[in-house]
Amino acid sequence: MFDTLSHQIKDSEKIVFVTGAGISKESGIPTFRDKDGLWRKYDPMQLATIDAFYKNPSLVWEWYQERLANVLTAKPNPGHLAIAELERHKEVIVLTQNIDGLHQRAGSKIVLELHGSLVRIKCTVCNFIDQFSIPFEILPPKCRCGNILRPDVVWFGEKLPHLVWGEAMSHAINCDLMIIVGTSLEVSPANTLPLYAKQNGAVLIEINPEKTRMSSSMDLSINETSAKALPRLISLIQK
Ligand code: APR
């Protein structure tokens, strides 16, 4: 199967990666929907919605600060590093659902964070926004305008940042190869990106140890972990 695609893959000019929590699993960051995932332990409706936040901002902040501690000690794994390395040979765009910043720490230059960033905070009212790496003593933290601060992430029921989403769509529509890594493709609108790419003639490759709802639409589905499969796939593309 790979041989039939290898020319298209090697000749591809613009490669778009759509990544999810699975690519960071081998950096020690749990996914959401695996059997040991976060949504097995916590109820997303209690922690990852705007209503949950206003109902109990301290609880939501405690959960995010716990995740922040894990993210700050995590390191990019061979999957993140292989994508960053490919930028030396091809035009590479990373559209990630992850909020852990590991693609940027691996060296990827063009990373669109569709669901925001765990290492950024913003005010719930004024336009204050800042990096965030030292946990707050008092929760919920307050902005200098007096209102509470929140993590700069996209919660269920919230729209994606429209400039980021518009740019992500245009990359998906204009790429000739899309590699979808470590995502269950359960959450929209991120899970529509492969459809846009396919409609415009891109080759779709999926890397995921499990089948997903879109595996049958992929030109190639590699059922392996990304830390193993990505370095191998990318070394073939670079040849
Ligand atoms: N390598 C590659 N893929 C893996 C690995 C691995 N080592 N381990 C697990 N996976 C796959 C799982 O099989 C699963 O399909 O990663 C996927 C993770 O899926 P989810 O946990 O649903 O994570 P994701 O798709 O990123 O979720 C999307 O949902 O909860 C929201 O905002 C959250 O951004 C998140 C969004």
Other C-beta atoms closer than 10 Å to the C-beta of 137 total: 6
Nearest atom in ligand 1 to the alpha carbon of residue 183 is 25
Q: How far apart are CA 150 and CA 51, in angstroms?
A: 13
Model pLDDT, residue 184 = 98
pTM exceeds 0.95 for this model: yes
Model pLDDT, residue 3 = 65
Nearest atom in ligand 1 to the alpha carbon of residue 184 is 15
Alpha helices in 13-144 (DSSP H): 38-41, 44-47, 50-55, 57-73, 78-86, 102-106
Q: How far apart are CA 16 and CA 218, in angstroms?
A: 14
C-alpha distance across the termini of the chain, in Å: 18
CATH 3.40.50.1220 domain residues, the chain:
1-27+76-115+159-239
**Ligand 1 midpoint to CA 106 (Å):** 19
CATH topology for 30-73+118-153 is: SIR2/SIRT2 'Small Domain' (3.30.1600)
Q: How far apart are CA 42 and CA 32, in angstroms?
A: 9
Of 118, 103, 114, 101, which Cα lies nearest the Cα of 165?
114
Model pLDDT, residue 171 = 98
Model pLDDT, residue 9 = 82
Residue 13 dihedral angles phi and psi, to the nearest 5°: -95, -50
**pLDDT tens, the chain, 239 aa long:** 556 677 778 889 999 999 999 999 999 999 999 999 999 989 999 999 999 999 999 999 999 999 999 999 999 999 999 999 999 999 999 999 999 999 999 999 999 999 999 999 999 999 999 999 899 999 999 999 999 999 999 999 999 999 999 999 999 999 999 999 999 999 999 999 999 999 999 999 999 999 999 999 999 999 999 999 999 998 888 76
Q: Is 115 a catalytic residue?
A: yes
Model pLDDT, residue 8 = 78
Residue 97 dihedral angles phi and psi, to the nearest 5°: -90, -10
Substitution site in 184, 191, 212 for ligand 1 pocket (most atoms within 8 Å of beta carbon): 184
Nearest atom in ligand 1 to the alpha carbon of residue 226 is 1
**Ligand 1 midpoint to CA 98 (Å):** 9
Provide the strand spans (E) within the chain. 14-19, 91-96, 111-113, 116-123, 129-131, 149-153, 177-181, 203-207, 220-222
Model pLDDT, residue 97 = 98
Q: Closest Cα to atom 4, ligand 1: which residue?
A: 22
CATH 3.30.1600.10 domain residues, the chain:
30-73+118-153
Model pLDDT, residue 7 = 79
Model pLDDT, residue 2 = 59
Residue of 80, 103, 115, 171 marked catalytic: 115
Query: Is there a contact between 142 and 179 (Cβ–Cβ < 8 Å)?
Result: no
Looking at the domain that runs over 1-27+76-115+159-239, which CATH code has it been given?
A: 3.40.50.1220
Model pLDDT, residue 4 = 64
**Ligand 1 midpoint to CA 88 (Å):** 27
Residues with C-beta less than 6 Å from any ligand 1 atom = 20-23, 25-26, 31-34, 37, 97, 115, 182-184, 186-187, 207-210, 212, 225-226
Nearest atom in ligand 1 to the alpha carbon of residue 97 is 34
